[in-house]
Amino acid sequence: MSEPLVIIGNGMAAARFADELSKRALGRYAIAVVGDEPRLAYNRVLLSSVLAGEVASSAIELKPRDWWADRGITLRYGCRATAIDASARIITLADGQSLPFSKLVLATGSQPIKPAIPGMALPGVITFRDINDIWTLWHRAGTDDRVVVIGGGLLGLEAAYGLAKASARVTVLHLMDRLMERQLDPYAAAMLKRAVEAMGIEVILNADTAEIEGANRVEGVRLKDGRTIQTDAVVVAIGIRPSAELARTGGIAVNRGIVVDDTMQTDVAGIHAIGECAEHRGLVYGLVEPAYEQARVLADCLAGRTARYEGSVLATNLKVSGVNVFSAGDFLGSEGTEEIVLTDPGFGSYKKFVVSDGRLVGAVLFGDTADGLWYLELIRSGASIAAFRDDLAFGRALVERVHTKPAPTRLAA
């Protein structure tokens, strides 16, 4: 008989895990997915493109309904898991039903962080996390509406771009002195600011929000320096927090996220966590690639193979049309690292590479990002770049042309 395996969360990590596990051990487990969003799992990464009108909301489903049914997976979406009894091995659902499990996989993702400032509960304050948020944004922030986006990181800028494309008048407020400071060095961040402003989006740096003002709905945002920006809506995009409460109340070890070992197991045998809710070696990732790597490792382990997750090298791509930004690894560098920089202000291009012990450890690209994945592979592999260091900044095509030995030609007899 198949072992009952329950996955809580019907997001990107859950869908990838179900896929990887069914490729390795179809039939070994009776899989049930419990998800509180009332729809099939979808590609959350594409929400920015949906907001910008570049992708239809109907086109972002990860797998069609039949795909799940064909693999014998039971889907319970629109249904929240409210409690885990780790010793009785039972999940309780919001509708009062319960589900027994032998193995449990927590893939509950994250929630947007809301700052503890007055006015956050006013109608017109919106987050940017799921498809409902997109519908609310479309409803609240159309042509000529004024929108303030709090947060000048990746999500905030993608929201600002989507709203500006919908002809809203957008102001981005960012607490720090440069945009995307966690992914970009000051030079690239300054280029990004100019590019964003050229789209008609106002950017205010060093902007510390004191209060969201309004009687019955949002009317303005007051900064701590006394300035007030009049607005019809506020999008809050200042960061995310792992959804780990369910695990915590179930007695599973939680730090910032649900603590897992290299096999993605929590401190309770047979209970696992993957994706944005998981904390591995002290790190919680907010990107999809680590979630997919974790899903692969866990599928291997639950199929009886040996596998370990050892952490991920992060890479970021901004999805703002016409503004190509890529960063990966240790892009700031530290003592003992060297930098290779190539700028072409005329073409709006900037490339910075951080090298340590003859290996590439980080990169920032602005403008021409076509070789981003190649640089990422060099960082991930830790391969020596000594043979082509001087040509590294000129890209993959040149390096491969100049530094790959031609195959020996056979001499005619």
Ligand X SMILES: Cc1cc2nc3c(=O)[nH]c(=O)nc-3n(C[C@H](O)[C@H](O)[C@H](O)COP(=O)(O)OP(=O)(O)OC[C@H]3O[C@@H](n4cnc5c(N)ncnc54)[C@H](O)[C@@H]3O)c2cc1C
Q: State the burial class of residue 232 (Cβ atoms within 10 Å of its Cβ: 0-12, 13-18, 19+).
A: buried
47 binds ligand X (CB under 6 A): yes
80 binds ligand X (CB under 6 A): yes
44 binds ligand X (CB under 6 A): yes
Q: Taking CB under 6 A as the criterion, which residues in 297-336 touch ligand X?
A: 317, 319
Q: Which residue is nearest to ligand X (CB)?
A: 11
Stretch that binds ligand X, among 97-105, 106-114, 341-349, 365-373 (CB under 6 A): 106-114
Return the sign of the alpha-carbon dihedral for residues 21, 27, 28, 34.
positive
156 binds ligand X (CB under 6 A): no
Position among 177, 289, 344, 390 found at the interface with ligand X (CB under 6 A): 289
Q: What number of other Cβ atoms are within 10 A of residue 143's Cβ? A: 8
Amino acid identity of 279? E
Give the DSSP letter string of 160-213: HHHHHHTT-EEEEE-SSSSTTTTT--HHHHHHHHHHHHHTT-EEESS--EEEEE
State in angstroms the smallest separation of the CB of 107 from ligand X.
5
Beta pairing class for 169-173 and 202-204: parallel
Amino acid identity of 254? V
52 binds ligand X (CB under 6 A): no
Nearest to 185 by CA among 282, 316, 374, 285: 316
Non-local (6+) Cβ contacts of 43 within 8 A are: 12, 60, 61, 62
Q: Taking CB under 6 A as the criterion, which residues in 205-264 touch ligand X?
A: 243, 246
Phi and psi, residue 67, nearest 5°: -60, -45
33 binds ligand X (CB under 6 A): no
Stretch that binds ligand X, among 21-29, 222-230, 281-289, 393-401 (CB under 6 A): 281-289
CA 59, CA 47: separation in Å to the nearest integer?
A: 11
State in angstroms the smallest separation of the CB of 14 from ligand X.
6
Stretch that binds ligand X, among 45-53, 199-207, 335-343, 373-381 (CB under 6 A): 45-53
State in angstroms the smallest separation of the CB of 242 from ligand X.
9
183 binds ligand X (CB under 6 A): no
Nearest to 212 by CA among 129, 136, 126, 132: 126
127 binds ligand X (CB under 6 A): no
Stretch that binds ligand X, among 64-72, 223-231, 284-292, 360-368 (CB under 6 A): 284-292
35 binds ligand X (CB under 6 A): yes
Q: What number of other Cβ atoms are within 10 A of residue 88's Cβ? A: 9
| x/- map, 86-105, ligand X, by CB under 6 A | --------------------
Stretch that binds ligand X, among 107-115, 140-148, 178-186, 335-343 (CB under 6 A): 107-115
Residue 7 tokens read as 């996955």
State in angstroms the smallest separation of the CB of 16 from ligand X.
8
37 binds ligand X (CB under 6 A): yes
Half-sphere exposure of 360 (CA within 13 A, CB side): 30
Half-sphere exposure of 160 (CA within 13 A, CB side): 31
Residue for token pair 């407020």: 173
50 binds ligand X (CB under 6 A): no
108 binds ligand X (CB under 6 A): yes
3-state helix, strand, coil in the chain (%, to 5): 30, 30, 40
CA 153, CA 350: separation in Å to the nearest integer?
A: 19
9 binds ligand X (CB under 6 A): yes
Binding residues with ligand X: total (CB under 6 A)? 34
Position among 20, 232, 276, 279 found at the interface with ligand X (CB under 6 A): 276
288 binds ligand X (CB under 6 A): yes
Is the Cβ of residue 11 or residue 362 nearer to ligand X in the bound state?
A: 11
Q: Which residues bind ligand X (CB under 6 A)?
A: 8-14, 34-37, 44-45, 47-48, 80-81, 107-109, 128-129, 155, 243, 246, 275-276, 286-289, 291, 317, 319
